Structure 1
Amino acid sequence: MIVIKLQGGLGNQMFQYAAGLSAAHNLKTNLKIDLSWFNNLNEVDTPRFYELDNFNLNQDFIISNQYYFINDPLKKRLLSFGKVGLDSYKEPHFEYDKNFMKIKNNTYIEGYFQTEKYFKNIRTEILKSFSIKNEPSVKSKEIINLAHKNESVSLHVRRGDYVTNKNASKFHGLMGEEYYKKAISIINKKIKNPKYFIFSDEINWVKKNFDLPKSSLFVTHNKSGIEDMRIMIECKHNIIANSSFSWWGAWLGRNQDKKVLAPKVWFLDDKTDTSDIIPRRWKKI
């Protein structure tokens, strides 16, 4: 058994589940999900909820008081009859950790795992797990058909808590208009007649402040992030923000010839090694 602790927003939860699934796959064992983080948010955290129930994946949850961690002396002393002991693995740094492949069965895993290196070996299984349960709305179907008929390019502008939450703003930073101008210029040179599909949690701000191609389609009808991600996945090419959300919108796309443009600077914190987060086949700008 592998237990994965989920935390953060949709994109982060997807990275964590994918890493946990990879570990379980390598060990030929089952994966369980720990949701306890969502019950212990503090005031400075952006409100988050479990969101993987939108996907066709196995949802096997643990009851936290059934387990203890064998490398935690306090919890060992609190051990009671019937509990199961688990080893513990905590991601030591942001870049890929080769020791992840040495994880043994019956391990509790905690971290962010923001690189495909943890799970690219099971891509087919990941694609199946992250297929969306519900059918798209009529409007979404129309936009997806349009994406299929054109050289569609999803363009994601992340604002939200990157603006409103001081801690998130200091850590992540925002991608400015210059980044998107450069990305669009590159796409225009590489792809004939691209059509841009614009996604943002502040779409009106984008309309007012960004000079985007006149033929751009602003995706505004969806009430949930999962529906935006569904359309991103169906676009043939992607311009992503420094966001795990649009990272997955690009990674799950099935176009073999897709162009993905991503920011060189993922975090403002230059002490964090983000060299592994962007796949080598994507272009950093």
Structure 2
Amino acid sequence: MAEARIVAQISFGLGNQLLQFGAAYAIARRLGVPLDLDLSWFGATHGDKTTARAEELTALVPDHLYRNLCRQGRWTTVTDGLRKGLTGRETRFGLPVWDAYWSRTEDAATLAAPLYIKDISFDTRLMAPALPDILPAVRARLAARYRAPEGRYAFLHVRRGDYLSKKFARKFRLLGPDWYGAAMSAYEEANGKARWILCSDDPPAALETMPEGFSIETSPATSTLEDLALMAGASGGVTANSTFSLWGGLLSGGAVVAPGEWRVDGRASPVLPEHWTLL
């Protein structure tokens, strides 16, 4: 009989990794079983799936919140393939697989260990019970490595990069100055005039697209984790349709304005915290 545990697939960028970890940690905690993290998706021979991207997560999440890091070896892959051939059911590490993609909180209510959790749930309610454990731990890790700007400020996250490509333009909204102007105005109406610090994968270009009438400066950060630390130290802010800035909003613990519709391809948008303002 397989050991009663949860194994979580960790993949893609840091925002998605944190969603995967948060949901799996919440499920493992509810069931009272150990949590192991599967880093098999990452590898130096798989294009941009570099080990360094996985190390961002392990730098942020203290190891007392999970038990082991693991990777699928050749024998594990072979035996899982044989099981699927014989039973028609997918397994990983010999464990039944739950595909969390676009799953909702109610879908996880009947899960039992042992279990392998594959892919990403975009319902933040699933991990909400575990956030009181996760958020302070991640904030402490960020604060130990990076110094947030002095004084009170709100963050503004703008995602460009891959969202400007034809591939992603068919899937995700590209938020423009009209949307950001409305979002920043909504924030300031509720919280007063803000000193905005803009975080982006292309800060100079993003700044050029911002509406006039707001006090905006670009982030001094030189890394993804440093930008996240800046957002965590903010009094709240405005997120993009990005899981990275979703975590910036969660870590800030303040008032957040976010896009309610992330996509243009008809797929559902993430379920965001109820106390956020969605536009």
Q: TM-score range by the shorter chain?
A: 0.7 to 0.9
> Could you tell me how far 1:185 is from its partner in structure 2?
1.8
Distance 1:39 1:75, change over 3 A: farther
Distance 1:95 1:108, change over 3 A: closer
| 1:224 to 2:196 alignment | no
User: What is the TM-score with the length of structure 1 in the denominator?
Assistant: 0.82
1:121 aligns to what SS in structure 2? helix
Structure 2 vs 1, CA of residues 128 and 230 (structure 1 numbering), >3 Å: closer, same or farther?
Answer: same
Q: 2:268 aligns with which of 264, 273, 276?
A: 273
Displacement of 1:173 after TM fit?
A: 3.0
Q: Deviations over 1:135-172 (max 9, x none)?
A: 344xx34x1x323xxxx2211111111124x3223212
Q: Return the letter of the residue paired with 1:103.
A: L
Please give the alpha-carbon distance, in whole angstroms, between the structure 2 residues aligned to 1:247 and 1:197: 16
Once residues 180 and 229 of structure 2 are traced to their aligned partners in structure 1, the CA distance between those partners, rounded to angstroms, is: 22
Q: Which runs of 5+ in 1 are unaligned?
A: 78-82
Aligned residue in 1 for 2:237: 238
TM-score (norm 2): 0.83
The corresponding residue for 1:119 is 127
Pairing 1:284–2:278 present: yes
After superposition, the Cα gap between the structure-2 partners of 1:227 and 1:20, relative to the gap in structure 1 and judged at 3 Å, is same
Name the residue aligned to 2:141: 133
Compared CA separation, residues 207 and 122, structure 1 to 2 (3 A): closer
Q: Which runs of 5+ in 2 are unaligned?
A: none
CA distance in structure 2 between the partners assigned to 1:237 and 1:99 by the alignment:
30
Letter in 2 for 1:146: G
Contact 2:194 2:215 in 1 (8 A): no
Counterpart residue type for residue 161 of structure 1: D
Q: Structure 2 vs 1, CA of residues 189 and 63 (structure 1 numbering), >3 Å: closer, same or farther?
A: closer
Q: How many residues align?
A: 263
* 2:85 counterpart residue number: 74
CA distance in 1, matches of 2:190, 2:93: 55
Structure 2 equivalent of residue 175 of structure 1: 175
Compute the RMSD of aligned alpha carbons: 2.8
Taking every aligned residue pair, what percent have the same amino acid on both sides?
A: 24
Distance 1:222 1:70, change over 3 A: same
- What amino acid does structure 2 have at the position aligned with 1:159? R
User: 1:63/1:37 Cα in 2 relative to 1: closer, same or farther (>3 Å)?
Assistant: closer
What is the CA distance between 1:84 and its match in structure 2? 6.1
Answer yes or no: is 1:14 the counterpart of 2:18. Answer: yes
Once the two structures are TM-superposed, the CA of residue 206 in structure 1 deviates from its matched residue by 1.9
Taking structure 1 as reference, are residues 97 and 122 closer, same or farther at Cα in structure 2, changes over 3 Å only? closer
2:154 touches 2:235 (CA, 8 Å); kept in 1?
yes
With over 3 angstroms needed to count, the CA separation of the structure-2 counterparts of 1:132 and 1:168, relative to structure 1, is farther
Equivalence for 2:62: 57
Do 1:69 and 1:76's aligned partners in 2 also have CA atoms closer than 8 Å? no
Q: Which amino acid aligns with 2:274?
A: R
Task: Find 1:96's aligned residue among 85, 98, 104.
Answer: 104
